[in-house]
Amino acid sequence: MIGFGRMIGMALASWIVCANTAHAQDAPSFPSKPIRVIAPYAPGGQSDTIMRAVAGKLAERWNQPVIVENRAGANGIIGAELVVRSIPDGYTLIVAEGSLFTVHPSLYEKLPYDPVRDFAPITRLTTYKTVLLVHPTVPANNLREFIALVKAKPGSLSFGSFGQGSGGHLNMEALKLYLGLDIVHVPYKGSAPVMVDLVAGRLQTVLISVSSAASNVKSGKLRAIAYAGAKRSPILPDIPTFAEAGADFENTSWFALMAPAGTPKPIIGRIHDEVSRIIQEPGFNQQWLVSRGLDAGGESPEQLAEVIRAELPYWARIIKTAGVRLE
């Protein structure tokens, strides 16, 4: 079985991002006033930080302010609803985790937006992989030993996440389903307390972004078992991929820039072209992405739309199997 990240990667392996100068010609007056980008989470997260760096570059190129505005609440839903109800003219955008568009429709009983009908994809800013960590007291030094331990004592290990239905929760549910494991979920209010309890030994394992894991792995406070990417992480190059460790599992998370549905295609195209150029500039890429364990996005709006359409049924199956549902 091939992990979902691998399937998406194979489907998009042939794309080459290039600037389409026709977009600029079709939208000659855009932008003519400040642009607002809604970040539907608290300040300081990865998507918020990267978008602010991109916004600074866009403001320089367009000679217009590009303002990142945090509208946290309801797991991103408040910010998403604000954008959906805004005028579709390119001056109100949203930068958000992929889960807002691919997970929430199956996770919530009622949702005030439809991810396909109500949003116009622009591009993914970045993608990133997760790494499986354990506390050093867990008697497993590699993936085979970890699987054997969990199957020998079902339900004896617990994993933490930053909330019911969060990325950390559902990513681990996907791994559990793929490997046939029984590990108990312990939800927290944020990623920081998860790492505190994992380092203290009150949790045994977690599946988390490599940037969040790196310092504790390098210091020996935690042990990395396997990395959920096609290639090893440049941040933790000694950690084998799941495929190298014997399980063909990949896990790709991402955050993207979107506009309200109905935003004119020439404007979507112009925003895409500028953002794509910025995130793939070697200096920007190294400073803001590679150093944080992130990969540049830049796919076309059509390719991002295809990613969303493909991930919706995948996460629906994971959520149904795990029995997770939120009001």
Q: What are the extents of the domains in the chain?
A: 14-127+254-322, 129-245
Collapsing DSSP states into helix, strand and coil, what is residue 296?
strand
pLDDT at 13: 41
pLDDT of residue 15: 44
Q: Which residue has the higher pLDDT, 3 or 108?
A: 108
Look at residue 28 in the predicted model and tell me its pLDDT: 66
CB-based contacts of 230, cutoff 8 Å, min separation 6: 5, 6, 9, 241, 243, 250
Q: What is the pLDDT of residues 283-327, one digit of tens each?
A: 999 999 998 999 999 999 999 999 999 999 999 999 999 999 887
More confident residue, 109 or 140: 140
- Is residue 14 over pLDDT 60? no
C-alpha to C-alpha distance for 30 and 128, rounded to whole angstroms: 31
In the predicted structure, residue 186 carries a pLDDT above the cut 60? yes
Q: Could you report the per-residue pLDDT of 129-155, keeping only the tens digit for each?
A: 999 999 999 999 999 999 999 999 999
pLDDT of the residue at 300: 97
**Residues 238-249, mean pLDDT to the nearest whole number:** 96
Q: Hey, what CATH topology would domain 129-245 get? A: D-Maltodextrin-Binding Protein; domain 2 (3.40.190)
Residue with tokens 């320089």: 60
Average pLDDT over residues 249-260: 95
Q: Indicate the pLDDT class of residue 19, thresholds 50, 70 and 90.
A: very low
* Average confidence score pLDDT of the chain: 91
pTM for the whole thing?
Answer: 0.87
Alpha helices in the chain (DSSP H): 4-11, 21-26, 46-62, 77-84, 99-102, 104-107, 143-152, 167-179, 191-200, 210-218, 242-245, 265-280, 282-284, 301-322
pLDDT for 141 equals 97
pLDDT band, very low/low/confident/very high, at 190 (cuts 50, 70, 90): confident
CATH topology of 14-127+254-322 equal to that of 129-245? yes
**Which CATH superfamily groups domain 14-127+254-322?**
Bordetella uptake gene, domain 1 (3.40.190.150)
Q: Alpha carbon of 286 to those of 168, 280, 290, 291: distances in Å?
A: 26, 9, 5, 6
Q: pLDDT at position 46, please?
A: 86
| Number of residues assigned to the chain | 327
